[in-house]
Amino acid sequence: MIHASELRLDVVAAVVVPTVAAVLLLVLTGGAWHRLRRVARTLLVAVSAVAVLAAAGAGANLLGGFFPTVGSLIGSSPDPGEGSVADIGPDGAGLDAAMPLVAARSAQGLGSTLHMTLHGAVSGIDRDADVYLPPGYTEHPRARFPVVEWLPGFPGEPREVAALFKVPDVLDAAIAAHRIPPVVLVIPDINGEPRFGHDQECVDAQHGAADDTYLTTDLVDWTTRHLRVRPDRGAWALAGWSSGGYCAMNLALRHPRTYALAVSQSGYDRTPDDVVTGELFAGRPDLAAANDVVALLGERPAPLAMLVTAGSDEPEERAAADRIRAAAAPPVTVDTRLYPGGGHNQNAVRAQLPDLVDWLGAHLLGPLAPPATPAGVTIDDGPGVPQRVLPVPDP
């Protein structure tokens, strides 16, 4: 049986087929109009309209590079570990068994992306996740590495970051060129199943899933227990595209004792309220404000460095970046970047990734080999950073 992820949308045939079908239907409609009953006419017009819309959408998709397959359009994959080199099973139980492969790849200057399923003990959520271990991870067994949680967009999943955007390959190249220190990358599933029409925006929703808790408590706890990572906030960053960009900023502002950096690539500043997302906060304005980037910035949060980007063809994202820049004040710093011609699609994401990685490289603390501390590096493990007191959803 052919899976949706095997049906390509980024080929010329994906445009030609619906275009030919649309033309034939329009010709048929005109030629048979007077011989058809009213119901048949209505049906034929409706089918023709759908074919025209499909042809136009396929053409726009091919030019813009939005969705490479039907599976990516509906957020479905036959292989959630696509883009990884090994599966380490539930809660990473097979991590040790994968280390010889990680070491062999590291010797070639390559990082290793490992796939697992993670149970959130606090949130109760079970989802897929990918973990990238950088070159040098096995060669330096006492070193502790910085961490980036890279959040997919909607309706994406870990393979969007690993296989479609190829962020691990970008990191391999940047690490080899010394543009970023060796860094552990954790790529969680931020929505779970079903994907299409199920946008949860990484929040602890009123009477809904505790996504914030899963991403900032369960995932962080697993990472610090099972991987050799630095615990201090200056070594932890959040990054993401589109909804993942909003999530990165919102979660970093909500949890300042965990994260010191956030990268939003074409993100926005508040959760949408539409047919896909729904009303996540069930009419509670305190929860909405506690997940609003601009509102959180107005409360003078802990030191945080943010990179906020948008393309010149993204008016809503540009407006959000302007609002965020206007709301930010010390100790928060916001670097906003506008990319010419950048639209809300995978081509723009890939083109901008090297800049994002370079920014992270300039701000993240590097690997640390205890007990030595590199000259000029100040360890900040968070105790001096106040913990936000935030409203919580009703049980």
Condensed to tens digits (0 to 9), the pLDDT of residues 30-59 reads 666 677 677 677 777 777 777 777 777 666
Six token digits for residue 91:
């809660």
Residue 275 pLDDT level (bands cut at 50, 70, 90): low
Q: How far apart are CA 53 and CA 108, in angstroms?
A: 48
Taking CA 334 as the corner, what is the angle to CA 255 and CA 343, rounded to the nearest 5 degrees?
100
Residue 277 pLDDT level (bands cut at 50, 70, 90): confident
pTM: 0.82
Mean pLDDT of 132-155: 94
The owner of tokens 């691990």 is: 168
**pLDDT at residue 97 is higher than 80:** yes
**pLDDT at residue 84 is higher than 60:** yes
The per-residue pLDDT of the chain, averaged, comes to 85
Q: What are phi and psi of 204, to 5 degrees?
A: -85, 100
Q: Quick one: pLDDT at residue 22?
A: 67
More confident residue, 66 or 351: 351
Mean pLDDT of 71-86: 68
Q: How far apart are CA 247 and CA 245, in angstroms?
A: 5
Residue 80 pLDDT level (bands cut at 50, 70, 90): low
Q: Are 328 and 306 in contact (CB under 8 A)?
A: yes
Residue 326 pLDDT level (bands cut at 50, 70, 90): very high
Mean pLDDT of 343-362: 92
Residue 375 pLDDT level (bands cut at 50, 70, 90): low
Q: Quick one: pLDDT at residue 154?
A: 84
Q: How many CB atoms lie within 10 A of CB 326?
A: 11
**pLDDT at residue 316 is higher than 60:** yes
**Cβ contacts of residue 158 below 8 Å, gap of 6+?**
80, 83, 115, 128, 129, 130, 152, 187, 188, 189
Residue 379 pLDDT level (bands cut at 50, 70, 90): very low
Among the residues of 33-78, which ranges form H helices? Answer: 38-64, 70-74
Q: Quick one: pLDDT at residue 374?
A: 52
Q: Quick one: pLDDT at residue 120?
A: 96
Amino acid at 319: A
Mean pLDDT of 231-242: 96
**pLDDT at residue 377 is higher than 50:** no
Q: How far apart are CA 345 and CA 352, in angstroms?
A: 11
Q: How many CB atoms lie within 10 A of CB 29?
A: 15
Q: Quick one: pLDDT at residue 239?
A: 98
Residue 119 pLDDT level (bands cut at 50, 70, 90): very high
Provide, rounded to the nearest whole percent, the portion of the chain with pLDDT above 90.
59
Residue 378 pLDDT level (bands cut at 50, 70, 90): very low
Long-range contacts of 96-99, Cβ-Cβ distance < 8 Å, separation of 24 or more: 99/138
End-to-end CA distance of the chain: 43
More confident residue, 279 or 381: 279
